[in-house]
């Protein structure tokens, strides 16, 4: 009976895993946008920001767009001009053509929140560009951690060291949260943080737990 039930269980296929990954990515993106807008609106209501109205969100957008274009896309003029063109068009159609810019100059109270939300969405898009640009760095650093972890595992095998399944399982458990949580924090942060700090954190901290899970996976092949 148990054998039949065990056989009837099917592992999720590649399509299901891909679909779950896409849903998770969109879930993280929507959650980050929602948190960012709520935090920005609360900052306007309770006067948390140094700049009034929607100018705090606009200042973040300008600063992070300059970082993305200057630090990550400066060597590729095609991508730099493409992203710059996209943001210019998005500003034109979402703020100028809709009349939000004119209304904001006339101090319409409600429009300030709409403008702040619009700029926050653009900030999240810029941060997504930074994350995409950071993927090669993340891959290279984690290849280093995996290689070094395999070397340490081989040393443990030759030295006859005891295996610790506790370290392996608990290290593996922390890898995904340490990758996902910094991404949510970066996307929803109400302050501008230079992308280099984020890249170092998301590469080194999860990489250390990847190294531990590989190093303590098995003592013998």
Which candidate, 72, 196, 209, 210, places its Cα nearest to that of 143?
A: 210
Give the pLDDT of residue 4: 47
Burial of 105 (0-12, 13-18, 19+ CB in 10 A): exposed
Give the pLDDT of residue 166: 67
Q: Give the Cα separation of 17 and 179 in Å (integer).
A: 18
Retrieve residue 198's tokens.
């984020």
The position carrying tokens 């056989």 is 7
Q: Give the Cα separation of 212 and 204 in Å (integer).
A: 12
Give the pLDDT of residue 18: 73
CA angle (160, 162, 167) in 5-degree steps: 140
pLDDT tens-digit profile, the chain (221 residues): 444 444 444 556 667 777 877 887 788 788 888 888 899 989 988 888 888 878 898 888 888 888 877 766 666 677 677 777 777 777 677 666 666 666 666 656 677 888 888 888 888 888 887 787 778 878 888 888 888 888 877 777 777 666 666 677 677 777 777 777 878 888 888 888 787 777 777 778 788 888 888 877 765 44
State residue 112 phi and psi, 5-degree precision: -60, -35
Q: How many residues comprise the chain?
A: 221
pLDDT above 70 covers a percentage of the chain that reads: 76
Q: Give the Cα separation of 50 and 186 in Å (integer).
A: 20
Give the pLDDT of residue 5: 46
pTM: 0.73
Phi-psi region of 218 (alpha: psi -120 to 50; beta: other; left: phi over 0): beta
The position carrying tokens 């095998």 is 157
């Amino acid at each position: 009976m148990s054998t039949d039930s065990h056989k009837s269980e099917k592992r999720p296929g590649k399509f299901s895993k891909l679909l779950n990954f896409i849903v998770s990515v969109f879930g993280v993106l929507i959650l980050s946008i929602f948190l960012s807008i709520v935090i920005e609106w609360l900052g306007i209501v309770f006067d948390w920001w140094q700049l009034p109205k929607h100018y705090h969100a606009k200042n973040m957008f300008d600063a992070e767009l300059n970082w993305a274009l200057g630090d990550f896309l400066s060597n590729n003029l095609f991508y730099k001009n493409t992203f710059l063109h996209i943001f210019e068009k998005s500003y034109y159609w979402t703020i100028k053509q809709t009349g939000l810019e004119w209304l904001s100059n006339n101090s319409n109270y409600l429009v300030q929140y709409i403008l702040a939300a619009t700029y926050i969405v653009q900030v999240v898009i810029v941060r997504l560009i930074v994350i995409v640009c950071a993927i090669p760095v993340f891959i290279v650093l984690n290849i280093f951690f995996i290689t070094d972890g395999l070397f340490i595992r081989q040393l443990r095998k030759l030295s006859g060291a005891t295996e610790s399944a506790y370290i392996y399982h608990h290290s593996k458990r922390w890898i995904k949260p340490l990758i996902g949580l910094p991404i949510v924090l970066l996307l929803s942060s109400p302050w501008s943080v230079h992308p280099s700090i984020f890249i170092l954190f998301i590469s080194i901290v999860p990489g250390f737990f990847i190294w531990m899970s590989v190093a303590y996976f098995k003592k013998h092949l």
